Amino acid sequence: MKKVLICLAACLVLTAQALLAQTKTQEEAQRGDSAVNQETVKKEPARQEPVKKEPERQEPERPEREWDNRWFISPLLKFHAQEFGMLEKNKYGYVSNANELSIMDKANGAVAISAYKNIVGRLSFSVDIGLAYGHVTSKERLISTTEKQTFNLLNATIYYHLLSHRYRLQPFISAGITNLINDSSYTSAPMGLGLKFNAKKIMIMAQAAYGYSISKTTANSLNYSLGLYLGINNKKRKKAEKDKAAAAAAADSAKKAQEELAKKTDTTGKNGQVVNNIVINVNVDSLLANRMGNNNGTNGNNQNGNQNGWPNNGNPNGNPNDWQGRENGKADFGDSLAGGRTGKNGFDLIDYQVDTINGKPALKFIIYFYYKDYALTSRSFGTVDKVIAQLRRDPKKVVEIKGYTDNVGSTEYNNYLSMRRAQMTFDYMNSRGVPPDRMIVSYYGKEYPVAENTAANAWLNRRVEIIVHDKE
């Protein structure tokens, strides 16, 4: 029997080595392909004419499997068998008649409740409690002379997995203690090999072991076990899985949207350089209305301004360049930050707020987003374009782009959404010529709300703040 166990161990080790070698070969093949692609790109002659590049399609990354740290419970679905006849016949030869006995006359079987858990890395353990029925013998007694009895079963086993957590099918080696209790204690230490299959909801485990006798009341035996386990999900894990699924769904939709944008957009200019990678949908009606409002305001009476320090919002009798806000110093302060270019050719006072960073003056622009959306609106493009124009005029200016959301949804989802809003703003500004080293992107999810998250005011928190200040 020892030879059989040795052969089984050798087969499992060879299988593990073959799987690892196959994985390594695939990784080397992928590296080789990427290296060939890079060499091919280097050898291609430079083309004078602009070439329209196809957008690269990135395959979605598969989430790497991790060790499943849940508790697994087997509710009376763990089965044990302990067989004495084969080793007894091998030891005593013709003296033993174990080969003539039926399996039920030279073994015992048990059904148990079992709990299983990964401890750390490749180590895990299980504890079993159950009832056994059948024969148990000692080293000085033949199995044929024993009678069937009922026993209480206690078992504890430690497992070491031979493969990494990436594989659902896991060979392992095990060592444990088994104790059958009746009028006396029958203790053995099984050591063996097994195979485990771990799925999302269930786990199946089977093993064969050589049971070394520890007490004088029992003989060496062959131990077998088979168990079906059910995974236990606690509330925190369920919530984390839902948040992860929501974030993954949002990421997939974002990738699809980017692919569609890339297909519809011409990203090359006459010299072959990228000049724009954003598709802008402009509402023509609102654009015309805005232009008419500006014309009406310019032709009106300069003295009929808004008394709140803001431009005449749609007032045909006012002049948008006549700002009552200058009396509180805001316009003059904004002029100095904007390089003396507020008004028609620069920033309008309605566009920004005066802020400070480390005690130094700064301008804060705010753009808003639709619910659960990160696409820039037509109104936002106008605000961002003014920031871009100012950055082009003054190379000493830099911007901080900060994304926020309302409080609807999980923290993980809102962090992702605020990141996408800030990144969309960054990408648009970068496509319009602002270098990345002049922009700092950060996102805060549903933190730092500027208004109560009610139905009427939550839109104020769905924002990106663009802060313009001098480079430190």
Residue 157, in any domain of the structure: yes
Whether 65 is covered by a domain: the verdict is: no
Residues 306 and 373 in one domain: no
Could you give the strand order of the β-sheet that contains 439-443, starting from the edge strand earlier in sequence?
352-357, 360-368, 463-470, 397-403, 439-443
- What CATH number corresponds to the domain at position 375? 3.30.1330.60
Instruction: Note whether 339 and 441 are same-domain residues.
Output: yes
Same domain flag for 310 and 386: no
One-letter amino acid for residue 408 of the chain: V
Sign of CA dihedral 32, 34, 40, 42: negative
Look at residue 110 and tell me whether its pLDDT is greater than 90. yes
Residue 296 lies in a domain: yes
Do 304 and 342 belong to one domain? no
Residues 289 and 337 in one domain: no
Domain match, 460 and 440 both: yes
Give buried/exposed letters for 263-298 (b at 16+ CB in 10 A, else e). Answer: eeeeebeeeeeeeebbeeeeeeeeeeeeeebeebbe
Shared-domain flag, residues 337 and 307: no
The answer to whether residue 44 is domain-embedded is no
In a domain, 188, yes or no: yes
Domain count, the chain: 3
The verdict on 382 and 441 lying in the same domain is: yes
Q: Are residues 201 and 89 in the same domain?
A: yes
Better pLDDT: 64 or 283: 64
Provide the residue range defining the domain that includes 272: 265-319
411 falls within a domain: yes
Count Cβ neighbours within 10 Å for each residue of 9-19 and write b for 16 or more, e otherwise.
eeebeeebeeb
Gap between the Cα atoms of 347 and 90, Å rounded: 96
Do 219 and 79 lie in one domain? The reply is: yes
User: What percent of the chain lies above the pLDDT cut of 90?
Assistant: 40
Residue 245 covered by a domain:
no
Whether residues 345 and 415 fall in one domain: yes
pLDDT tens-digit map of 378-433: 889 988 998 998 889 888 889 999 999 999 989 999 999 999 999 999 999 999 99
pLDDT digits (tens, 9 = 90+) for 48-57: 444 444 444 4
pLDDT digits over 12-46, tens only?
Answer: 566 656 556 655 655 665 555 444 444 444 444 44
